[in-house]
Structure 1
Amino acid sequence: MPLWLDLLRTPMAAPETQALKRLRFTWQGLCFASALIVGFFAPLHRAVGRTAAFGAAALLLATATCTIVYLFRKQRADGAFLETIGRAE
C-alpha cells in the first residue's frame, strides 16, 4: 500500500472530548482577544491610560498559560488514543 494511502487511513488525532473542545475554544478566544488588544493598543491606551498595559500583559500571560495547558492535554489525549489503537511510537 502506498505511504499516502496508509497515512490517509491512519487516525492522526484523538477524538475530541467536550472538555478538550471547551479548552480549545477558550484558547482560540484568548488568541483572538490578544490579537485585538495588540492591534488596538494605542486607542485603548489613550482611553484607559496605564491600565491598558496591565490588562494586555494579563491577557498575554493567560493566553500563554492556556496554550501550554492545551498543548499538554492534547498531546496526552493523542498519545493515549494512539496507544489504544496500537500505533504508539
Structure 2
Amino acid sequence: MMLTLFDVLRTPMAAPETPGIKRMRMTILVLCSALVVSIASIDLLRAVIGIGAGAVVGGLLIVLMVLVPVYFVAKTRADDAHLAALLAETDQ
C-alpha cells in the first residue's frame, strides 16, 4: 500500500522518549548549563580553585564531546525503529 503525503504528515516522526534517552538529554542540558556558568565565571573559578579552573571547563567539554554523539546515535536508532514499526503497521 502506498502512503500519501497526508499520511506521512500525520505520522509522528520521532519515537516516544524512553527513560534512558530522556536521562541523557537532561544530562546534556545540565552539562551545557554548567559549561556556560563555568565559562562565565572563569575568573572566580580561577581565584577559588587556581589552575584547575581550566581543567573543570575542559572536563565538561570532554564529557559533552562523548555524550552528545552517544545520545544522537541512541535517539536516531529509537526514531528509526519507531518509524519502521509505524510503516509495518500501515502495511498490514
TM-score by length of 1: 0.83
1:86 Cα offset (Å): 1.1
Q: Does 1:81 align with 2:85?
A: no
Q: Look up the match of 2:70.
A: 69
CA contact (8 A) 1:34 1:56 kept: yes
Cα-to-partner distance string for 1:62-84 (whole Å, 9 max, x where unaligned):
01211111111101110111111
**Structure 1 stretches lacking a partner, 5+ long:** none
Moved over 6 A (4+): none
Q: Does 1:40 align with 2:41?
A: yes
Counterpart-to-counterpart distance in 2, 1:84 and 1:6: 14
Letter in structure 2 aligned against 1:64: M
Counterpart-to-counterpart distance in 1, 2:56 and 2:6: 47
Query: Which of the pair has more CA radius of gyration?
Result: 2
Letter in structure 1 aligned against 2:21: L
Letter in structure 2 aligned against 1:61: I
Q: Look up the match of 2:28.
A: 27
Identity %: 37
Number of residue pairs the alignment of both structures matches: 85
1:6 Cα offset (Å): 5.2
- Is the alpha carbon distance of 1:6 and 1:83 closer, same or farther for their aligned partners in structure 2, counting shifts above 3 Å? closer
TM-score by length of 2: 0.81
Letter in structure 1 aligned against 2:17: E
**Structure 2 stretches lacking a partner, 5+ long:** none
- Is the alpha carbon distance of 1:4 and 1:41 closer, same or farther for their aligned partners in structure 2, counting shifts above 3 Å? farther
Cα-to-partner distance string for 1:26-54 (whole Å, 9 max, x where unaligned):
11111111111111112111221101111
